[in-house]
Copies of this chain bind each other. A is one copy, B any other.
Amino acid sequence: MNKFGDRIRGLRKAKGYSLRQLAPLVGVGFSYLCKVENGKLDFDGTASESLIHRLADVLEGDEEELLLLAEKVPEPIRRRVIARPDAFRRLAELSDRKLDWILASLD
């Protein structure tokens, strides 16, 4: 259960980077990157949003996907939830099946 780290590692290998090569490109130390990939950060948590942003950039990954794997709510979604709390409170209570139905009816 380390979806985020595994994804990062995958993207990194795909680009042929070593930890020491990638680290300076995203502005952190290589040892920190290692911990990020293995989910071994001292404090139980994940990388900061700004680091995820830089990683997505350099590795050409989907930033929102990475944020979600790291269990963070991406800003565009967050803003929308805050703007329309009435709507999202209700939507959040819906079953998977009803969500699917709504998505289908959007076309």
Chain A contact residues, CB within 8 Å of chain B: 64-65, 68, 71, 73-74, 76-78, 80-82, 84-93, 96, 99-100, 102-103, 105-106
Contacts and interface: CB of A to CB of B under 8 A. Distances in A.
Within the oligomer, what is the number of copies of this chain? 2
Chain A, interface SS category: helix
Contacts of A77: 81, 88-89, 92
B71 A87 contact: no
B102 A85 contact: no
A102 B89 CA distance: 13
Given A73-B78, A81-B73, A81-B77, A102 B99 contact: no
A88 to B, nearest CB: 6
